[in-house]
């Protein structure tokens, strides 16, 4: 466990926090006017290894060698030149800070961090963090790595859960959820949608599936897994045989066949490490999936309404009639897909570069 303190005066800026991995949807921008919840659970923090926010440099201003040194192997619109390594926390865990009014940014419903750090240490007035809570963005506070220090909390040690414990106790993330929008005179509005977390998870996994395919057709398990991936794989990869096969693999699951070369495996939510198999499939390509998404795919839960009495509050979604399913086919998150693919060295292959160029030109709009 750690407390983050001001690098200028040493004042404590957070409650005690345990470290977790940065969620794959941390940089996601979802929909238009959507009210997204808090990115991280209270009491946790994650380190973002990449720079975030301004100042920015356009791609034609960056030497290819510098880009590769930063782990980027294909063109992007622009690159952040801010300091990497920010500590990301839930807004409710910040302490001893004040907002900087003139750093509101260009947001329409909240704060987007476009003007740089918008929170200062109350004790010494050093800008230390950026709060983000605008519409369509996940709510978080990002503490700058050059403005805060991490101090261990004596006597408190958080031991990561084992894979067996995660398989038994891990929280499943449903593929559908109500999305709240900014309410008007009639109060809050909601609509049923594919989960933003699933869309981001699919964006990351799809980039890895393309690399693992080596340009050959790929099949995934039927059911929900096929709903998420197969349409995009069939559109982006050539038709015909032989097809490479991807299967779900992880703790508590049967060992995959020796001939399977692609494994859809869970990511440890605390350490960020992808589950690794033993035996004949140890050399298979591991496609990472957030634990909550993976748990639902290997053990989906049916919707079982619970009878209730009394009146339902005005702002609570009814379960009678049952929630409607989304009225559109699943689409992976475009931004997460691109962010992942340009950071995989295999993207330098001509066929993958073509897929990336088609994405930036809008010719793959029906898939994302």
| Residues recorded for the chain | 368
pLDDT cut 70: percent of the chain above it = 91
Determine the distance from the C-alpha atom of residue 163 to the mean position of all C-alpha atoms in its chain, rounded to a whole number: 21
pLDDT digit string, tens, across residues 216-232? 999 999 999 999 999 99
Distance (Å, rounded) from C-alpha 126 to C-alpha 119?
Answer: 9
* Letter string b/e over residues 187-217, b meaning 16 or more CB atoms within 10 A of that residue's CB: eeebeebbbbbbbbbbbbbbbbbbbbbeeeb
pLDDT digit string, tens, across residues 14-67? 999 999 999 999 999 998 888 999 999 999 999 999 999 888 999 999 998 999
User: Which pair of tokens denotes residue 49?
Assistant: 């290894």
Task: Please tell me whether residue 109 adopts helix, strand or coil conformation.
Answer: coil
Q: What is the pLDDT of residue 243?
A: 82
pLDDT at 9 over 80: yes
**Global pTM?**
0.90
pLDDT digit string, tens, across residues 301-357? 765 445 556 666 665 655 555 556 787 899 999 999 999 999 999 999 999 999 999
pLDDT cut 90: percent of the chain above it = 68
pLDDT digit string, tens, across residues 221-275? 999 999 999 999 999 999 887 789 999 999 999 888 877 899 999 999 999 999 9
């Amino acid at each position: 466990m750690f407390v983050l303190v001001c690098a200028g005066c040493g004042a404590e800026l957070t409650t005690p926090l345990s470290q977790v991995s940065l969620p794959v949807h941390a940089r996601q921008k979802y929909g238009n006017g959507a009210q997204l919840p808090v990115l991280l659970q209270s009491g946790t923090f994650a380190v973002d290894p990449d720079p975030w926010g301004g100042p920015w440099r356009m791609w034609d201003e960056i030497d290819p060698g510098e880009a590769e040194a930063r782990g980027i192997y294909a063109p992007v619109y622009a690159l952040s030149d801010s300091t990497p390594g920010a500590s990301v926390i839930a807004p409710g865990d910040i302490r001893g800070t004040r907002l900087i009014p003139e750093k509101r940014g260009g947001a329409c419903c909240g704060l987007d961090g476009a003007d740089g750090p918008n929170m200062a240490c109350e004790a010494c007035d050093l800008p230390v963090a950026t709060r983000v809570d605008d519409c369509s963005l996940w709510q978080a506070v990002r503490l700058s790595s050059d403005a805060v220090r991490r101090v261990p909390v004596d006597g408190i040690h958080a031991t990561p859960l084992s894979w067996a414990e995660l398989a038994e106790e891990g929280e499943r993330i449903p593929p559908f959820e109500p999305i709240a929008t900014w309410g008007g005179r009639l109060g809050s509005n909601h609509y049923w949608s594919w989960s933003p977390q699933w869309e981001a998870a699919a964006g990351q996994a799809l980039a890895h599936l393309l690399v693992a395919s080596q340009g050959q057709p790929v099949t995934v398990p039927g059911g929900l897994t096929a709903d998420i991936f197969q349409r995009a794989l069939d559109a982006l990869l050539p038709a015909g045989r032989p097809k490479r096969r991807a299967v779900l693999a992880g703790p508590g699951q049967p060992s995959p066949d020796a001939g399977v070369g692609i494994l859809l495996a869970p990511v440890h939510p605390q350490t960020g490490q992808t589950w690794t198999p033993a035996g004949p499939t140890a050399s298979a390509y591991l496609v990472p999936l957030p634990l909550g998404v993976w748990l639902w795919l290997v053990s989906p839960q049916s919707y079982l309404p619970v009878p209730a009495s009394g009146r339902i509050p005005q702002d609570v979604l009814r379960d009678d009639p049952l929630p409607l399913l989304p009225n559109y086919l699943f689409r992976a998150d475009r931004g997460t897909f691109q962010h992942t693919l340009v950071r995989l060295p295999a993207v330098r292959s001509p066929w993958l570069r073509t897929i990336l160029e088609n994405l930036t030109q809008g010719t793959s709009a029906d898939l994302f």
